[in-house]
């Protein structure tokens, strides 16, 4: 169990989280992707903290956890608001802000 194992795990999780975020069209699933990415970073932070025998990494990890909770709260609230608008949580229902240049 060296540092590298932790980092590799963190990397894999981050990539998976990002893949979920960018490939899935369901807002709830996308939020889960974000959580996974945050957790991946947390793993890396704690691993480094362990390596350096310091507490700063763990501090940061706690901050990330708090941030993730807050973000989940806000994110879910937005998702609920959007669901009320369109009765759907698929992203392609919310393309109102897309802008198309009209070619002259």
Partner 1 sequence: MDLAVILLLPLLGSLLNGAFAVKASVTKRPLPELLIAIVGVLFPFLSFLIAVKASLPFLLNGQLAPTQEHLFDWVVSGPFSVSASLLLDRLSVVMVLVVTGVGTLIHFYSRGYMHGDAGFARYYCYLNLFLFSMLVLVLADNLLFLFVGWEGVGLCSYLLIGFYFTDADKAAAGKKAFVVNRIGDFGFLIGLFLILGQLGMSVSAGENILSFNYLMQHVEQLAPVAGWVTFCLFLGATGKSAQIPLYVWLPDAMAGPTPVSALIHAATMVTAGVYMMVRLFFLFNYDLAPYTMQLIATVGAATALFAATIGLVQNDIKKVLAYSTVSQLGYMVLGVGVGAYGAAIFHLMTHAFFKACLFLGAGAVIHALHHEQDIQKMGGLKSKLPVVFVTFTIASLAIAGIPPLAGFFSKDEILFQTYVTGHRYLYTVAFIAAGFTAFYMFRLVALTFLGKSSLEHHGHHHAAHVQKVPFSMQSVLVVLALLSVVGGWVGIPDALGHGLGLHNYWQAWLPFGVGETSLEGHNVHSLEIELAFISALWGALFVGLAIYIYLKKPAWPQNCAQKLKWVYALLREKYFIDEIYNALIIQPIKSVSQYVLAKFCDQGIIDTLFIKGLAFFTQVGGGLVNRFQNGSVNAYVLYFFVALIGLLTWALV
Out of 7, 9, 16, 21, name the contact with partner 1 by CB under 8 A.
Answer: 21
Segment 55-94, which members bind partner 1 (CB under 8 A)?
A: 91-92, 94
Cβ distance to partner 1 smaller for residue 29 or 70? 29
Q: Which of 78, 2, 1, 92 is nearest to 34 (CA)?
A: 78
Residues 44 and 65: their CA atoms lie apart, in Å, by: 13
- Residue 16: which residues within 8 A CB-CB, separation 6 or more? 33, 36
26 secondary structure, DSSP code: B
Q: Is 35 in the site for partner 1 (CB under 8 A)?
A: no
Of residues 5 and 90, the one with the C-beta less far from partner 1: 90
Residues contributing to the site for partner 1 (CB under 8 A): 18, 21-25, 30, 91-92, 94-101, 103
């Amino acid at each position: 169990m060296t540092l590298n194992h932790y980092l590799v795990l963190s990397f894999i999780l981050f990539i998976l989280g990002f893949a979920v975020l960018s490939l899935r069209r369901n807002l709830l699933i996308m939020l889960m992707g974000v959580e996974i990415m945050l957790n991946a970073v947390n793993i890396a932070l704690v691993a480094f903290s362990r390596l350096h025998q310091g507490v700063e990494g763990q501090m940061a990890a706690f901050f990330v956890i708090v941030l993730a909770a807050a973000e989940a709260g806000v994110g879910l609230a937005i998702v609920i608001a959007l669901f009320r608008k369109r009765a759907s949580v698929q992203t392609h229902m919310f393309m109102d802000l897309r802008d198309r240049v009209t070619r002259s």
